[in-house]
Amino acid sequence: MGYVPDYFEARIGKWMAAGWLPPSGKIADFGLQEFHGDQAEARRVTAEFLRRYDVPDSQVEQICSPVRALSVADVYRALGHEYVAIDMQQTKTVHFFDLNCFAPPDESCMSFDMVNNEGVIEHLINPINGFLIAHELLRVGGVAVHSIPLSGHANQWVDAPDNEVLRSAPAC
């Protein structure tokens, strides 16, 4: 599902106000999260949001510059949070992790204040393992948020690999 233009305004600000994501908190996002929709609107709304949290104008201008992609990770970091994205599509900002069958590495267990599942779990072959991973990643008192848009979203599905993929997949 990803981050819509007003995501930080509509959700993250409320999570921070409620103490779910404490100052300097550590958050893990399931999936390669990007801003979707109107990018100009996402930049405008995100810039307003960051300024309300006293992020310096020079940093806001750099994050929301139209000459580069608006980065979810950069927004979290500007707010003082440590951010990790977990996905099977490894990039320089995403940690490779198979939520279907791997257990989290020992150093990641009980190390996050918040785990955010923004429309990823319904794509897993083994969604129960995804919920277990979220639990294992959280510190005592941490919060897991799960958004599962199965109803009313024609483009949502549960991935079911063909037999070739199953034969070549590592055992859990």
Residue whose token pair is 């199965």:
150
40 or 108, greater pLDDT = 40
Looking at residue 46, its amino acid is: T
57's CB contacts (< 8 A; 6+ apart) are 51
Q: Could you give the CA distance from residue 160 to residue 63 in angstroms, rounded to a whole number?
A: 37
Say how many C-beta atoms besides its own lie within 10 A of residue 120's C-beta: 23
Is residue 55 over pLDDT 60? yes
Q: Could you give the CA distance from residue 72 to residue 77 in angstroms, rounded to a whole number?
A: 9
Q: Structural domains in the chain?
A: 7-168 (3.40.50)
Q: Once rounded to an integer, what is the mean pLDDT over residues 79-107?
A: 83
Q: Could you give the CA distance from residue 88 to residue 45 in angstroms, rounded to a whole number?
A: 29
Confidence of residue 157 (pLDDT cuts 50, 70, 90): very low
Least confident of 54-68, 91-105, 127-141: 91-105
Confidence of residue 107 (pLDDT cuts 50, 70, 90): confident
